[in-house]
Amino acid sequence: MVSPNRDMGYDVADYLAVQPAYGTLDDVRELVAQAARRGLRVLLDLVPNHTSDRHPWFSDPARRDWYVWRLEPNNWIANFGGPAWTYHAGLGRWYLHSYLPEQPDLNWWHPEVRHAFDQIIDFWLDLGVAGFRIDAAHVIVKDALLRDNPPARSDDDRFTVLRGQRYLYNQCRPEVHEVLRRWRSLTERRQPPAVLLGETHVQDLSQLASFYGRGDELHLALNFAFTLSPFQASSLREIVERTLDMLQPLGATPVWHASNHDIPRFPTRWCEGDRRRIELALTLLLTLPGTCVLYQGDELGMVDARLPPGVGHDPVGRDRARTPLPWDEGPNRGFTTGRPWLPLDDATASVAEQEADPGSVLALTRRLIALRRQLGPYRPGQSSQTSWTYWRGTTRVTLDFEGPAASIATP
C-alpha cells in the first residue's frame, strides 16, 4: 500500500492503492492469478492500528476524532522507545502513537474508523487476496479512559521488566475482540473463507488463546512466546506443550514461526549460523502440529546480512534481517536487475546452488514439508533439559539440542 516508508510500509498513506515502486492494482490481480495457477494464495499485510501522518485522514479536520488526542500525555511508552505521545503544535494537543511519531494511532472506538476498515478489507478481498496478516492485532483498541499503565513487577516476563511498565491499558483490551469478530464475519462471507493471521505479540499464552475467540475471531495467532524463547529444549517444549493444552480444547490451530522482518533471523539468533542447529530448528518448526510460517530465506537457512555501515533504512535497525532472497549467482544474486532496497550478501548459498544439492537446507525443508502432511497427533515422549522427543502419530521426532542433532523415525 502507498507509504512514505518511514517504517517500510507500516505507515500507510492510502489503503486502497499500491505503492508505485511495486506496481499497480492490475499487478496485484496478475500476482493473485499467477499464484493461483501454482496452488498458492496471497495474503496482504493490513495495518489497522495506525496510519502514516501523511494519510489525508490525519490532516482532515472532519476526521480529528479518528485519531487519539489528549491535552496531557499519560505514561504510555512507544514500542520503538520514548513516549507514545507527540505534541501537535497546530492543535495544541498530543496525539498517540504506539510506534513512530509518524504513525499516529487510529481511534478504534470511532464507528467510522471501523466502517472504513470494513471497506478496506472488502476492497482487497474483492480483488482476490486470500486474507490478511493483521499488524499489531492486539494493540488496536485502547482503554477508553486512557489510564496510566502500572509499573512492572520483578516477576513479570522479561520484556515487561525491561520496559518498566505493564501494558495493561494500551493493548489486549477486552474490546479488541469485538473488532476481531467483526472482521471474521467479513471473511466468512467469502468462498472459500478468507483467513486472518494476527500479529499477536504477547507472552501470556492464555492471552494468545483469547484471540481465537470461540472460533469466531482470528483463524491463526502468531505465538511470540515460542519465537522469542531461548533455543533450549526445556523452554521450547514447555511453551509448545502449554500452547497445545490451551488451544486444543478450543479446536484452534497453533502457529509457529522463528523469524520475521522485525527480529534477527533464527539461523543467526537461535543457531549462530551453525548448520546442525539450523537443521534442528527447521525440523522442530516443520514437525509441530498446526501451521508453520517460514520467513523468506528460512528455507535456505539464511543468516542475517552483514551490511556496510550507513546502509539501511530502518529507524530501529532491523535491516539485517530484511535483505532480499539470493536466487542465483548472477548480479544482485538474481533478485533484481534494478537496484535492491538493501544489498545482497553472500553468506547464504543461493536457491540455485541449494536446488542442485540434495544435502542442502532447502532440500531438507522440502522433505519436511512433504512429510508434515502425513503426521498424526502430537504426543510427548522422553525429554530432558537438553533433549526432546515427541511423537506425531507413529512418527518419532528426537531433538538433541546438545548434539546438536535432529532425527525422525518413521515406521
Cell 496452488: give the residue: 39
Active site residue 199: yes
Does 262 engage in binding with ligand NOJ (CB under 6 A)? yes
Which of 66, 99, 224, 266 contacts ligand NOJ by CB under 6 A? 99
* DSSP assigned state of 332: G
SS3 94: strand
- Give whichever of 199 and 217 is closer to ligand NOJ, judged by the CB atom: 199
Task: Kindly give the interhelix angle for 176-188 and 111-127, rounded to the nearest 10 degrees.
Answer: 30
Contact 221, 136 (CB under 8 A): no
Cell 501470556: give the residue: 204
User: Residues touching ligand NOJ: how many (CB under 6 A)?
Assistant: 9
Does 355 engage in binding with ligand NOJ (CB under 6 A)? no
Does 199 engage in binding with ligand NOJ (CB under 6 A)? yes
For residue 11, give every residue at least 6 positions away whose Cβ sits within 8 Å of its Cβ, in sequence order, or none: 3, 4, 5, 47, 50, 51, 52, 53, 54, 100, 102, 103
Minimum distance from CB of 203 to ligand NOJ (Å)? Answer: 16
> Which single residue brings its beta carbon nearest to ligand NOJ?
10
- How far is 67 from 146, CA to CA, in rounded Å? 13
Minimum distance from CB of 262 to ligand NOJ (Å)? Answer: 5
Minimum distance from CB of 56 to ligand NOJ (Å)? Answer: 19
- Give whichever of 5 and 332 is closer to ligand NOJ, judged by the CB atom: 5
Minimum distance from CB of 76 to ligand NOJ (Å)? Answer: 15
Amino acid at 113: V
For residue 114, give every residue at least 6 positions away whose Cβ sits within 8 Å of its Cβ, in sequence order, or none: 108, 179, 182
- Give whichever of 10 and 231 is closer to ligand NOJ, judged by the CB atom: 10
Catalytic site residue from 105, 199, 217, 298: 199
Does 295 engage in binding with ligand NOJ (CB under 6 A)? no
Minimum distance from CB of 136 to ligand NOJ (Å)? Answer: 5
- Cell, residue 375: 503426521
Does 135 engage in binding with ligand NOJ (CB under 6 A)? yes
- The sign of the dihedral angle between the CA atoms of 247, 248, 252, 258 is positive
Active site residue 72: no
Does 105 engage in binding with ligand NOJ (CB under 6 A)? no
* DSSP character string of 212-266: TTTTTS-SEEB-HHHHTS-S-HHHHHHHHHHHHHHHGGGTPPPEE-S--TTS--H
Would you say how long the chain is, in residues? 411
- Give whichever of 9 and 289 is closer to ligand NOJ, judged by the CB atom: 9
Does 255 engage in binding with ligand NOJ (CB under 6 A)? no
Convert residues 46-75 into a mask of x (bound to ligand NOJ by CB under 6 A) and - (unbound): -x----------------------------
Catalytic site residue from 7, 102, 135, 298: 135
- How far is 346 from 120, CA to CA, in rounded Å? 40
Which of 13, 134, 136, 292 contacts ligand NOJ by CB under 6 A? 136
Does 7 engage in binding with ligand NOJ (CB under 6 A)? yes
User: So which residues are the catalytic ones?
Assistant: 135, 199
Residues that bind ligand NOJ (CB under 6 A): 7, 10, 47, 99, 135-136, 199, 261-262
